[in-house]
Chains A and B, each alone.
Chain A
């Protein structure tokens, strides 16, 4: 080689190196921007209202975090809460997943150590957006393991913006899923890395991520069942490898042992049916590996003669163990929560409490598009490319994607688990399409020519080739611009969905008048503040279970039932109190030492999430306790659920009706509307002059949304009848 040629190859190498360095720099800048986007798009409610904890469950998490930060970890783990589920109480230390609270505590301690006195509330509000940025980074690394760096960048971008994940991780939504989705993606990413390399070190990292996941969310059961499903699929398609064996066996043993360290899980990991799939696949894998080992040392003839006896022997041992376990009841059968995943109608007939939660309803088609947008279309494309490639990692993401697509159809809240799979598969699909079209558009000479383009030296075919060339040129560029435009609309849709649909704090409502002016309804906080400042510290508040966490969190008072819904009978008792006539309710309330009753009423403000709309669920749940309470009694004769004079007799006499509409007939909305016009049910109410015998109105908020009533103490005894003749006093005949 001459010196000049050697110089040019050196220059080329240098050019390649700088190009690579520039690409890496651009990639990291893009990742940094993706983190910023993920964080910023979740801040809408903080900008619109303030940095407040949203909804219901986050208030409980916030209260426990405050306890942890203020009182320390030993008090936290041994906390018996007497302020909830009066008179039963709740063992908080053993019935929560502490990962979220411990994470916030660690952040708080670190910040305080560096002398940033950040309040717990601020940490709780902003924890989820920070973790969503980190999740996007982990999704990047995961997709880079499965496919390549280009798909990884797209996947990270999608992950930062996808609305279904955003809905559970906006600023203020301080819930388990905020950190759990990060842990979920981390577990899957490290597991795939373990399967790819076969190294036990990555298995350790995977197990530690799994331990964090079990700490964070009850949805760890999904991972505990998906990984065995993946191993089973791999065995079925004949891709058993020693790396897979190493990965899953080590993960199962260490992972199960570590998951039992959390009090809430305890021995369930080896005793309940939901965990048995993992154990079954584990033992099967060991048997498979053992049979393979034996095969290595025998001739094929000898092995063929004993393989059946080996298989039957091992199989019968396993079958015996399983049947003994199930028959003696040692292995608990599947609980109702999981039966609903297989049979969506199970909960409606058997467990009304699970069926009544709005998050547990089946998903509509519109939700798929709203929550995933572009990814709902790009997911199948990604599945196609992954199945074509067929590596271990690609099969994993296909299994994960298909399983979550099925489960997300059963319950709306499981759309969240679909989001990472959709982002990754969508990223892969879109990246492949974009690569092909970009190459075809920018470097058309390099793309392979189809047989139709062979030079035929025929004038007619030359013209046809030229026109074909123009058409394909137009098509190529149209598709390319179409893909880019669709990704831009994805961004716009996600930002809009985040701002309008998923940033509502639920505790502050806002509506626009017909003139476009915004009215803020801060009734919830108004009522909770009234409770906090005007009631005794040990006052017991009766309300429907939705508001339990908020009352204990904001008013710091004792409640009867709250969102934990662990005791159906207690909830049914409260439901019965709400659904019965006032005197029966009074007996129940006296028995429970209730001092205040709280109802949500939206008829004045037009707020449709009030207790009257939830009332039928109260009736159904109360019906499981007391069979005299029939839903049909609360409907009108024509079978409608109405509040006007034709409503069911039981409805018009129920405590809920009285507490909601007490003195409502004094309100007149406008010139042409009658008095007592319910703006949610759009009817004039049936009973207008409501009298309360055992309760009195304590507080009603500005827009009548929360109404608080005091339970009157028992009235004085009725006086004994005066006799017609005056009693002769015994003193009059005192002995002298």
Chain B
């Protein structure tokens, strides 16, 4: 409601986040923010300059969005709190699947960009 409430909430969030997430997960989160920023920059560019080679724009956008989603998924699978939901998925196999998805995504994006 008031600005102090918002700042209080934000600082509580930051404190809880810093305490509960391990270093590995913070690296994942930084990666996620990087991809989101890329998406935003691409969107801004399209608004300012136009989308002429539309397939190139979509290729760039989808590759960033895709890597963002995959990193989110990897983070979900790696967080220790989520162990019971991902039976049968070890940390090694989840990273391996992540790389496989990334390869497929980037190969398709490059093909799409033409």
What residues make up the interface of A, taking CB atoms closer than 8 Å to B?
197-201, 203-204, 207-208, 241-243, 245-246, 249-250, 253-254, 256-258, 260-261, 267, 270, 289, 294, 296-299, 302, 305-306
Contact = CB atoms under 8 A, between A and B. Distances in A.
A302 B108 CA distance: 43
A34 B74 CA distance: 40
A261 B62 contact: no
Q: Which 3 A-B pairs have the closest CB atoms?
A: A200-B97, A297-B16, A201-B97
B108 A258 contact: yes
Contacts of B109: 257
Contacts, number: 106
A24 B86 CA distance: 29
Given A253-B105, A257-B108, A305-B9, A242 B16 contact: no
Contact of A197 (B12, B73, B88, B101): B88
A191 to B, nearest CB: 15
B41 interface: no
A241 B85 CA distance: 8
B70 A250 contact: yes
B58 A260 contact: yes
B9 A302 contact: yes
19 contacts: A199-B86, A200-B98, A204-B101, A242-B76, A242-B85, A249-B72, A253-B62, A254-B66, A254-B104, A254-B108, A256-B62, A257-B109, A258-B108, A261-B111, A267-B58, A270-B58, A294-B13, A298-B9, A306-B9
Contacts of A267: 54-55, 58
Interface in B85-114: 85-89, 93-94, 96-98, 100-101, 104-105, 108-109, 111-112
Contacts of B55: 260, 267
- Sorting the interface of chain B by its residue count into under 10, 10 to 19, 20 to 34 or 35 or more gives 35 or more
Given A260-B112, A267-B54, A198 B77 contact: yes
Contacts of B20: 296-297
Given A249-B69, A297-B17, 4 more contacts: A199-B97, A203-B101, A260-B58, A296-B16
A257 B100 contact: no
Interface of A is mostly: helix
A280 to B, nearest CB: 15
Contacts of A245: 73, 76
Contacts of B28: none
Contact of B89 (A198, A249, A253): A198
A322 to B, nearest CB: 16
Contacts of B74: 200
Contacts of B104: 204, 207-208, 254
A250 B86 contact: no
B19 to A, nearest CB: 9
B108 A305 contact: no
B82 interface: yes
